[in-house]
Chains A and B, each alone.
Chain A
Amino acid sequence: MMKTRRKLLCAVTAFLAALPVVPKLQAQVTDWKQIVIPKLPPFNPQEPRRVELPNGMVIFLQEDHELPFIRGTARIRGGSREEPADKVGLVQIYGQVWRLGGTKDRTGDQLDDYLEARAARVETGGGLDATVISWDCLKERFDEVFPIFLDLLRDPEFRADKLPIAKRQLDTGISRRNDDPEGIAAREAAKLGYGPTSPYGRVPEYATVDAVTREDLLNWHHAHVHPNNIILGVSGDFDSKAMEAKLRAAFASWPKGPAAEPAKVSFQEPKPGVYFVAKEDVNQSNIHMVDLGIRRDNPDYYAVTVLNQIFGGSFSSRLVTNVRSKKGLAYEVGGGIGAAFDHPGLFRISMGTKSGTTAQAIDALYEEIDGLKKNPPTEEELKKAKDSILNSFVFQFDSKQKVLAERMSYEFYGYPADFLERYRAGIEKVSLADVERVAEKYIHKNQLAVLVVGKAADFDRPLSSFGPVTALDITIPPPAGAKAATAAAGPNAEGKALAAKVFEAMGGQSKIGAIKSVRRKVSATLSTPQGEMSIAGEEVTVYPDRTWQKMATPGGEMVIVVTPQAAFMAGPQGARDFPASMKDEVNKDLLRDPLAVAQHFDDPKYAFSAGSTEKIGDADARILDVNAGGAEVRWFVDPQSGRILRASWQGISMNGPGETVADYSEWKSVDGVTMPFKETRSQNGAKAMSIEVTNVELNPTIDPKIFERPAAPSAAGPGQ
């Protein structure tokens, strides 16, 4: 290490000798205000060259010889805001499978090998208003890489085997979207601001992802990818003339197609009020306040930009100074009136504060909004804000790539090519009166949708102190799964035959028909936040509609009873009624019980529908969708043995609404009736519990009193 440093210092000394004399500095400075700021040298950023082909394609060429790369990005009109509501996610999936699915000649995997060996990239993606395809390669690889870009642009294959990979990526995002409280707040606030079904607020769901087909991707491609919908920007180490010739040769023969139709979206102000999302595993609340913002072509855009800088858009803004630094209420706080190119942005204030200062934080934000009127911005604030914007203006075009990207945006949205210059002039003209006027015009405290994501029990004051609270349910709608398939397939003779086989394997209709009641003793292991918990339990079912369950929990013995007359849970601290939804759920469980289904084999309210085959372990299980008098369940039946290997159904579980999957094993015969003695359950993909049956008794003696409600009622019973 020392050796290299000595060598280095020699080099430095030699280098310094060649430099001009060090300019004179001012004498010792004790205050920053004494430092003289020289004039910034004139700077005329290099503008890209614009070429418009007869077929409508617009090309920008930006030479940049600093590094030996050539890069290109084609922006194609049409994006997720134009996708159908029942296929939200289509454009994202398209953006992935476009590249993953390869071209006619080469699979995506082959493209990966070819490109990676050359340290090159060709990538595709889907956005809100456009899709994008780009390349990035060393200049000596251009002639190898550009043909792949072209091929993928013109002739992609969207191979079906890559569709599941893209869908799993989206599903993963959906499944995780409620883990991050900031993410929840940002998403739900956008929905409040634009409306839940607005293309600017909606998000993909399992069902809308599932609905996307390869056909959809091909159709999207054919509808949008035409030269007249494309703006191509190329930058890097090339000669513009030669590059133009190559691009003309590549694109000239491509005929025009139909122009992309922009989405017609209507906008209305959000419904004002207080909205709440409950999140238990946090100690910080995320607060967002939203309203509609403006478009950039609004003449008020410049005044709004200055206002934002003063209000919440910089470290020295009012929100940061007062809410963060003076009050210490937040690490992240900020906001302003959003402006987008071709649709209204969102006015948004956001902050995170500890649960115990949630109401105090809302007060503080309101105070800042009121403050815009009570203490209108001063000349000093105006100057500071304008100086910040104008002095940092050079960073809007401090690289050739940035200049190119800006120009492409103006072209895409139909803005004048000199928009940036107009922006500077516009900012310079903003007066204090302008700032006050736009604050008055666009910021309305009583029109805001105020969203809080957090743990209400720890709040300093209930949110209702700010007005009526609307609770938002962010439960993720489960995958369509069993339900959709049942509806689609409908009952069939094959289904009935398969069901007959199942019941035969259980012991036959006569034996099953003789069962009036069952007592099972079980040992269950539950997965809980505190780890695994084992509990012993006992369960009595009297067909068709009574159940009694007792379990020994760490908090004492719990009993659950559901009969046509009552549904309650009783523990050491008394009994309390089940809500109707829970009662309904237990009743459905009773209906789904294979023994109960078997007893209704010929009931017209029961339907059986056989479907496709799926691997469960080593068996090729046949899917059997059962509608048991209104309760739906999907069985996965081993066609050899007739045993139900797995059952899945939708409903409310410990994990909230969603899908429950139960796997059965260890069959034993009890008085000639075969049943599984082991069951493992997962809910929404997470391990939930395993149950081992230790003893089964058919038609046991039952004390009818067990279905009665214990005498001493209690106001607040414990949970489990």
Chain B
Amino acid sequence: MKIAGMKWALAGFVFAALVAPARAQDLASFEKRITVKVLDNGLTVLVCERHEAPVFSFFTYVNVGADREVPGITGLAHMFEHMAFKGTETIGTTDYPAEKAALAKVEEAYGAYDRERRREVGRDEKKVAELEKAWKDAIDRANKYVKPHEFDTIVEENGGVGMNAFTTNEETGYFYAFPSNRLELWAYLESDRFLHPVLREFYKERDVVYEERRMRVDSEPNGRMFEQFAAAAFIAHPYGKPVVGWPSDLQHFSATDAKAFFDKYYVAPNLTVAVVGDVKTSDVLAVCEKYFGRLPKRPKPDALVTVEPSQNSEREVILHEAAQPLYIEGYHKPSASDTKNEPVFDALQDLMSNGRTSRLYRSLVRDKKIAAFAGGFNDFPGGKYPDLFVFFAVPTPGHTPEELRDAIHAEVKRLQSEDITDEELNTMKTRVKADLLRTLGDNGGLASNLATNQALLGDWRELFVEVDRIGKVSKDDIRRVANEYFVQSNRTEGMIETVPEAGSKGGK
């Protein structure tokens, strides 16, 4: 119900290193514990046994996010994610047949109202008001059948914790953890919301989502900048659109639109469900066959057509804000599935950002003291499609984004003209291996990493294999990639320039 694709940005702000989907320890030990099964309808189930305590976590990876939205319905993938907590035909209703009829009337009334109010010529305001009232009355009638929050309540009273979901520019993820005796209940609940979703309370929830936009973007200077930065970096590919949606679309799209989006993209072959914890693989497969097997067999949608054309000119976004300055720059690069370049970019992320030996910390934070935080991060804002490698820095008081930009460019130049040292190369490889290990002792983290690698890269083993690839990265690779991709014409810069607050009075 939360967190649209800004997780990378938030991570930046807590000054924590952003890690690309983590990859793993001893592959052999996981081979023994992990089972993958593709159901007849095309849905993928992944089970990883981990018998530390009588609990399990799951992660449902839906292979659609804001990437399949078109103008007019931006924000709809995220909106559907919110609706997935509103219940089903058996959960959240006192009388589904009656509610269904009432909801159909709401859609009819909304359609009439929306068409009239969006007429640019000859709009009849009186009619708009009447239609609006008719729509709201229809909502009131439908709401009579609602049992509010029944889905959440069932999960919570059965001991579910960490219940949440997020939407990014390319995926939607749902997750929580249950005591291990709730396995069958979980399979029912999780499959039912994708089998029999009911988009009740849609328009109130649309207001809630708009509040989310106000919180993350409109009222948050950094959010405002990131939105503009992405829009500048991607002129054709949907990575440039805000996950939360443009304001106009958030005030327009309907439950009918959301259902159409759901029907097209929430098909079984687009779903990967990972379960990790104190479960028996056979039990999980059995309940998944039984409940997720109910989802109809539908074809996987065609792949997205639009590819971001290669950038041929530098782009710059400057926000003049009464907020403290900030700097970000990004370079286009291939997607996460490009096995030639991706490990090199992963290595670069570690070299530039990880810990106090990283290049940007030493140069910008320790020596020049112009930044409180500086790092370089791979796979912005996704990884599924060709994306960006971004450098991001937060200046200390009195220092400008331009100073940060120049200092980052100096470090990029160094990567291009000098080999990194043997120590740096070895430290990076040792650290990447250990950091992967550190992520393996947690059900929730494992579920999300395994599901994501399985769905995005076709195999959960990518979690481990990528680390092996990083282990083979050479000094030449680093120089090659830095020279090939970190060039001016492939760059988008974004910054906040601090100016006095609007409306304040001038002195001399």
Contact = CB atoms under 8 A, between A and B. Distances in A.
Interface of A: 1, 4-5, 8-9, 11-12, 15-16, 19-23, 25-26, 29-32, 35-41, 43, 45, 66-69, 100, 108-109, 112-113, 116-119, 136, 138, 164-165, 168-169, 171-176, 179-182, 280-284, 314-316, 320-321, 324-332, 352-354, 383-384, 387-388, 390-395, 397-400, 527-531, 547, 549, 560, 582, 585-586, 589, 651-656, 682-688, 719-720
B338 interface: no
Contacts of B201: 325
Nearest to A116: B357
Main secondary structure of the interface of B (DSSP, over half): mixed
A394 B53 contact: yes
Contact of B369 (A4, A168, A176, A354): A168
Interface stretch (B58-66, B97-105, B392-400): B392-400
Contacts of A530: 320
A384 B153 contact: yes
Nearest to B32: A15
Given A315-B149, A582-B505, A384 B157 contact: yes
Contact of A586 (B212, B502, B507): B507
A171 B369 CA distance: 12
B189 A32 contact: yes
26 contacts: A8-B36, A11-B31, A15-B281, A16-B35, A39-B181, A68-B437, A69-B438, A117-B423, A138-B437, A164-B369, A168-B397, A172-B395, A331-B2, A354-B210, A354-B214, A384-B156, A387-B157, A392-B156, A398-B52, A399-B52, A528-B500, A549-B508, A653-B500, A686-B325, A687-B499, A719-B504
B290 A25 contact: yes
A586 B506 CA distance: 11
B185 interface: yes
B508 A281 contact: no
A688 B372 contact: no
A324 B85 CA distance: 13
B120 interface: no
B218 A394 contact: no
Contacts of B90: 30-32
A41 B56 CA distance: 13
B372 A281 contact: no
Interface centre among A40, A281, A387 (most CB of B within 10 A): A281
A651 B508 CA distance: 11
Contacts of B207: 328-329
A572 B37 CA distance: 77
A589 B372 contact: no
A390 B160 CA distance: 11
Contact of B458 (A4, A118, A164, A284): A4
B257 interface: no
Given A19-B282, A280-B501, A529-B321, A25 B398 contact: no
B489 interface: no
Contacts of A174: 397
Nearest to A168: B396
B245 to A, nearest CB: 13
A281 B502 contact: yes
B273 to A, nearest CB: 15
A720 B503 CA distance: 8
Given A168-B396, A326-B204, A179 B324 contact: yes
B507 A316 contact: no
B21 interface: no
Nearest to B159: A391
B281 A19 contact: yes
B500 A40 contact: no
Interface stretch (B306-314, B425-433, B467-475): B425-433
A199 to B, nearest CB: 24
Interface residues of B, number: 111
Given A164-B369, A282-B219, A45 B503 contact: no
Q: Which A-B residue pairs are the 5 nearest by beta carbons? A: A391-B159, A119-B434, A328-B207, A686-B498, A282-B219
A35 B357 contact: no
A352 B219 CA distance: 11
A205 to B, nearest CB: 13
B205 A328 contact: yes
Nearest to A170: B372
Contact of B430 (A119, A281, A397): A119
A1 B184 contact: no
Interface centre among B398, B461, B500 (most CB of A within 10 A): B500
B397 A20 contact: no
Given A16-B282, A37-B185, A280-B501, A331 B287 contact: no
A543 B461 CA distance: 80
B161 A392 contact: yes
Interface string B383-413: 0000000000011111110000000000000
A4 B461 contact: yes
A465 to B, nearest CB: 22
Contacts of A5: 458-459
Contacts of A20: 282
Given A43-B54, A116-B431, A586-B508, 7 more contacts: A19-B280, A66-B52, A117-B430, A138-B437, A315-B85, A321-B148, A529-B499
A353 B219 CA distance: 11
B204 A653 contact: no
Given A392-B159, A656-B501, A32 B459 contact: no
A547 B204 CA distance: 58
Interface centre among B37, B90, B184, B203 (most CB of A within 10 A): B184
B355 interface: yes
Interface in B251-296: 280-283, 285-287, 290
A68 B442 CA distance: 14
Contacts of B426: 117
A654 B177 contact: no
B180 interface: yes
B144 to A, nearest CB: 12
Contact of A720 (B219, B320, B397, B505): B505
B320 A165 contact: no
